[in-house]
Amino acid sequence: MINNYNFNELIGEGTFGNVYSVVEENGDKLAMKIMKKNRLVQHNVPHSTIYKEAKLLFKSRHCGKIITFHDFFEDNYNYYIVTEQCHGSDLFEKLMKVKKFDENSAQFIIKQILQALVYMHQRGIIHRDIKLENIVFKNQHSNEIRVIDMGLAREIAKTNNKCYGKSGTLGYMAPEVFLEGDIEAYSYNADIWSLGVVAFILLTGYIPVTANNDMEGYIRDISNRSFPNFPSKKQEDNNTSEIAKDFVKQCLQINPDKRIEAVQLLMNHPWMCKDVLMSSSSSSNKLVFKPCSPSRKLFPLGSS
């Protein structure tokens, strides 16, 4: 199987292996993630995790907003997952350059992530690791994004629509996951919380909760009456609209039962329904960014 691909260059390195730019026999340029089986064993990662990731990528291959699956195979030493190749940066890298997104740009990005979540949730998949680093631009000059990395994603049983396990990235995990994930069940709405965190960061340049393993600090943050605490309009030229703030607040409902489902947010929330003066087919096809005060500080975003 690997002989069907010609290797171009190394484009990413990770704990379990590397990602390469490859060319298929028909000329398509793709990305191949090669995971070494011995490293998985060293880190006590069940091999079933890789099969699950490949399966969920396959189930999501027609979404258009999730990285497109092409192939999966293995040999005695490695697992291989082949997907479309994106040539743009991820949201974290972009934010490090621009500090804060123009609201129209933020809305356009969040809407695409939400479309991906609707697609997954309707097929019984919870992502569990929505964060800036897992959203990439299709190319350097496009406003199209792809949701990547299904390594922590899981299928939820139709019988109870619940999932278990403290899983995700610090700063992005929903309260029911961070505080009680190992003992209490949670569901798709955990992804909605993570989406709200991403939206807050894009709009303000800040993360709304403590991004470390400090449970007391986390509880203190979300218990604040003004949570999520948007900067005032007098602070650093903050002009976030009220409907954008409401969208974030709907996502960051502490009680998961009060969080609106992905499909309802996409279809009914006014911030998702408003027209944005950009599209993937626009002539310039570029994102518009609002410059930010050099003194603005992005809080640490935790670890993968």
In this predicted model, what pLDDT tens digit does every residue of 110-125 receive, in sequence order?
999 999 999 999 999 9
Residue environment code for 151-168, b if the CB has 16+ CB neighbours within 10 A, otherwise e:
bbbbebeeeeeebeeebb
Of 193, 210, 207, nearest to 265 (Cα)?
193
- Assess whether 124 and 233 both reside in one domain: yes
Q: Does residue 34 form part of some domain?
A: yes
Domain check: are 57 and 118 in the same one?
no
Residues carrying an active site annotation: 129
Same domain, 57 and 98: no
- Residue 47 reports pLDDT greater than 70: yes
* Same domain, residue pair 105 and 68: no
- Residue 211 has what pLDDT? 72
Q: Does residue 186 carry a pLDDT above 60? A: yes
The count of domains in the chain is: 2
Q: What is the pTM of this model?
A: 0.87
Q: Which of 174, 179, 170, 172 is nearest to 189 (CA)?
A: 174
Same domain, yes or no: 35 and 125? no
Side chain identity at residue 99, one-letter code: K
Q: What is the mean pLDDT of the chain?
A: 87
Asked if residue 163 belongs to a domain, the reply is: yes
Highest mean pLDDT: which of 141-145, 183-187, 268-272?
Answer: 268-272
- Which residue range(s) make up the domain with 46? 2-84
Domain boundary among 46, 64, 84: 84
In terms of domains, do 96 and 75 share one?
A: no
97 and 80 share one domain? no
Ligand-binding annotation for 37, yes or no, is no
The verdict on 61 and 106 lying in the same domain is no
